[in-house]
Structures are given as structure tokens and as C-alpha cells.
Structure 1
Amino acid sequence: MKIVIIGGTGLIGSQLTNLLKDKHEVIVASPNTGVNTLTGEGLDNALENADVVVDVSNSPSFADDDVMNFFKTSTSNLLEAEKKANVKHHIALSVVGTQKLSASGYFRAKQVQEELIGSSSIPYSIVHATQFFEFAGGVAASSVKENGMFVTDAFVQPIASSEVAAFLAKTVEEKPNLGISEIAGPERMPMNHWIENYLSVMNRPSEITIEKEAPYFGAVLEKDTLVPEKAVFESNIRYQDWIADPKNQR
């Protein structure tokens, strides 16, 4: 099969490319390789004779207007190019809880992306993943205020990005499911515990104050917003084992 990976140079895209390249023809599509979904540059050439398109791209800016423009424009351009190329399967990576986070500009944009995919004539599969293990540092950094670190105790069920890439690789070889599949890590925990674990391993102890109203991408979380309702896959890789590996401590 010919598989085009949109966002193929990123965290998930690069791992997915490595998993598929020995068995399939893989096109790594990103602005760095001359394919720009926002402008349409290089799309038709990249998608010529493609069987599957996997979209793991993300907006370079998370400002409300920017992120809406990115997902709305790039997804529309991509689906139009797929129609011309007669692509048989569109796969998109999204986030568990997207439909519950309309208070967030980022997740409103992701909802629009999913609606465009669902209303298109291209057969599709949408994968909702929980937070990647690699995101703990970013969550910690975004939780710092002048008077300390404030983190919600809403539940998370984080997953190794390698497992997300592996699930996407499996999805590539399956028929479109015309719906959403939720995937997650093996352990459900309060977000403050996840961040405390990260800071402890990184030798950056910090007193964390639980703030139930602490926003996540601009939205206040309910207890179960970010955990799956019915996961079709739960990884066996536990966060404490993953973060114990020095290569993951960055």
C-alpha cells in the first residue's frame, strides 16, 4: 500500500513511519518535505495513487483563531485532495474527551476537524488517545504561577507515544471503522499524581497545590473528562517504568 503520513516528521509521525516503511510505500508529508496542508502545496503530488492517509499533524499555534484556521483549512484541503486521488481510508489522531471540551478553543477546532472528516465521502477511522507520557513536562511547565504550581486532580490515563504509533500502524491495515476508537495507558490516576511522579524522577521536586478549577487548554475539567469511556486498547507500559528509563527523561 501507499501510505501518506501528514505530520510525518513529528513525535507520532516519525515513529509511525519507522513502523510502516519496511512493508509499505510511505510518504512523509510535512512543510519540511514540501507538503503544506494549509496552502495545499504539494498535496496532489503526495497523494497520487495513495491508499491510506494518516493525519497526525498539529497546529503550530494554539491561539484560538490560529488553531481553528489550521484544523478547518488543512482538513478541508486534505479531504478534497483525497477525493481527487480516490484515497480509500482517512485516519486521524485526536484526543480522548474532545467532545466534552467545547470551552477550549483548541478542542473546538478538533471537533470541527472530526465533523469535516465524518461528513466527507472518504471512509475514515478516528483514534482518540489520552495524554502521551512525553507531555508531563509540558503540563508541569504550564501549571506554574507566580505563587506556586497548581494542578487539577481530574483523572488522566496517559499512554506511551510508541503505543499510539503502534495502534495507528495496525489501523492502517484494517478497514475503516467509520467512527472513533479510544486508546489509553494501563493506569488511571489524578493528574497531580502524574506530575508529582514526573518531577520526582527529574529531581525537580515542587509543592503542588490541587486546584480543581485549573484549566487544561483553557477548559476546566470534570473528574473523568480526559479518560476513555470505553477504550478498545490499553497499553501494558506503565508510566513509572517508562520514565525510569534515562532516555525518556527529558
Structure 2
Amino acid sequence: MKIVVVGGTGLIGSRLVARLRGDGHDVVAGARATGVDSFTGVGLAEALDGAETLIDVSNSSYVDEAAAREFFYASTLNLLTFGAAAGIRHHVALSVVGTDRLARSEGGYFQAKAEQEKLIVRSGRPYSIVHATQFFEFVRSITDAATRSRIAHVADALIQPMAADDVAASVAGIAAGAPTNGISEFGGPEVFELRELAERELRFRHDDREVLADPLGTYFGAQLEHRELLPGPDATLVETRFHEWQVQKALV
């Protein structure tokens, strides 16, 4: 089966492309670096020619609402339009657990993601939306962004993160099946206080910064309720635990 992965050179996309090729699929890694730009539409028609499945794991480099909305609206509309013309049978998109809740309460980047999902749902095209929890790989950058005077003021919230490899495997599994025409949630096997998780990552790297759970701390600009980032009871939980992932990364 020919599958086009938009965002195919990124953190999730590169893993997804490798996994799908390993499963024997004909995979096109769509990204600006490979001549495919979902935002402008450049190269999309050629990339999608003969494809059955389109997987969108692209992301905006902006977290402010206006810029993120512009990216997701234009990119998603192009993918749906070019996909329909190419006869795509399954449009798969990666999104974020909690998007709908955060869009209602906070707006911002999450409002842009929610509107992306609405475009897909209302398009009439066969689709599957994958909601994943935060990635282990981003714990460090979240902590660094929250640091002021060597104290990390992270949001006072629970988090149930997962490894990027598990995210890619989850998306691949959904893409291999029939369109769900709905949302499938995936999360990690462990629930942490964000403060605890950030501290464990710092100590593993012998970084002595202090970490505080700050009631005023934000998460990509959003104020969080304590359980707002957790998946629902029907979510599929993957296997890789945080410490196992840390050890694996240290051995590479």
C-alpha cells in the first residue's frame, strides 16, 4: 500500500516512515525538505498520486493561536482537497489528548488544533484522529522553557506521557486499519505529577535545578486543571515506562 506521511522527517514522522517501510509499505516522506509543502500545496499532487492513505503528523512551529490557526487551517484544507482529488481512502491525523477541553478553556494553540480536527470531521472524507499524550522527548524542553533563575516553575498538573516510538507505533496501527471516523486515545503506562517527571529527567542528567509545581505555571501558554492532560478511561496504554526509555537513550 502506498502511504504518504506529511511531516515525515520530524520526530514522529521519521519513526513512522521507518516502521511503515519495515512493514512492507511504499511510503513517501512528505516534508519541505523532500519537496512537499502542505502549507502551500507545493508537491502535494505528485506525492499523493496513487496513494491510498495519508497520515498527517505535521505540526506548527508556533504556539500562539493566530499563527498556529493559519498553519493548521491552510495545511489541513490542502491535504483534504488534494487528498480527495487523489482518491485517498484514509486520512489519519495525529493530535493531542485534551485538545477539546483545552480549546474550550484556554484557546491558543489548542484552539488551532481543535479547528484542524473539525475540518477533518466535517470534510466528509474517511478519517481517523489519533490523540496521544505528551512525549517523553519533550520533558526536557518543557522544563527548560519553565526555568527562571535556575528554578523550573512547571504547571501543577498530572501527565501520562509516552515515548515517540510508541506514538509512531500507535499511529501506524490505526493507519493500517479501516477509518474509525472518530478519535482514538493513546497514553503512557504511568501517571506523574509534571513536577516529579521534570525532576526525574533533570536528576538523570545530573542537573541540580530546583523544580516547583506552580499554580500559575502554564503549559504551551495554557493554564491547566490538575487532570486536564490525562486520557480517558477507554484510552489504549502503551508499554514503555519512563525509566526504561531514559536507560535506552543513555545507551545509544
User: What is the distance in 1 between the residues matched to 2:125 and 2:114?
Assistant: 18
- 4+ aligned runs moved over 3 Å, structure 1: 246-249
Q: Letter of the 1:136 partner, please give it.
A: V
CA shift in 2, pair 1:148/1:34, >3 Å? same
Query: Which position in structure 2 is the counterpart of 1:38?
Result: 39
Query: Which position in structure 2 is the counterpart of 1:116?
Result: 119
Q: Report the Cα offset of residue 169 of structure 1.
A: 1.2
For the 8 Å contact 2:189–2:239, the answer to whether it is kept is yes
Matched position secondary structure for 1:5: strand
Query: Which position in structure 2 is the counterpart of 1:61?
Result: 62
Matched position secondary structure for 2:235: strand
For the 8 Å contact 2:156–2:217, the answer to whether it is kept is no
1:132 aligns with 2:132: no
1:12 aligns with 2:12: yes
Query: Which position in structure 2 is the counterpart of 1:74?
Result: 75
Query: Which position in structure 2 is the counterpart of 1:159?
Result: 162
Q: Report the Cα offset of residue 30 of structure 1.
A: 0.5
Q: Report the Cα offset of residue 171 of structure 1.
A: 1.1
For the 8 Å contact 2:150–2:210, the answer to whether it is kept is no
Q: Report the Cα offset of residue 63 of structure 1.
A: 3.1
Query: Which position in structure 1 is the counterpart of 2:179?
Result: 176
What are structure 2's unaligned runs of at least 5 residues? none
For the 8 Å contact 2:150–2:209, the answer to whether it is kept is no
User: What is the distance in 2 between the residues matched to 1:104 and 1:205?
Assistant: 34
User: What is the distance in 2 between the residues matched to 1:231 and 1:204?
Assistant: 37
Q: Letter of the 1:228 partner, please give it.
A: P
When normalised by structure 2's length, the TM-score is 0.95
User: What is the distance in 2 between the residues matched to 1:99 and 1:47?
Assistant: 30
User: What is the distance in 2 between the residues matched to 1:215 and 1:84?
Assistant: 41
Q: Give the percent of matched residue pairs that are identical in Structure 1 and Structure 2.
A: 41
Q: Report the Cα offset of residue 153 of structure 1.
A: 2.8
User: What is the distance in 1 between the residues matched to 2:197 and 2:249?
Assistant: 18
Q: Report the Cα offset of residue 32 of structure 1.
A: 0.6
Query: Which position in structure 2 is the counterpart of 1:189?
Result: 192
Q: Report the Cα offset of residue 80 of structure 1.
A: 0.3
User: What is the distance in 2 between the residues matched to 1:204 and 1:104?
Assistant: 33
CA shift in 2, pair 1:129/1:248, >3 Å? farther
User: What is the distance in 1 between the residues matched to 2:130 and 2:9?
Assistant: 19
Correspondences of 1:223-238 after superposition (within 5 Å): 223-238=226-241
What are structure 1's unaligned runs of at least 5 residues? none
Query: Which position in structure 2 is the counterpart of 1:220?
Result: 223
User: What is the distance in 2 between the residues matched to 1:209 and 1:11?
Assistant: 28
Aligned length: 249
Matched position secondary structure for 2:200: helix
Cα deviation, 1:22-44, whole Å, max 9, x if unaligned, reads 41110110011111111110111
Cα deviation, 1:33-83, whole Å, max 9, x if unaligned, reads 111111110111111111000000011222332111000110001100011
Deviates more, 1:38-47 or 1:54-63: 54-63
CA shift in 2, pair 1:248/1:63, >3 Å? farther
Matched position secondary structure for 1:245: helix
Matched position secondary structure for 1:80: helix
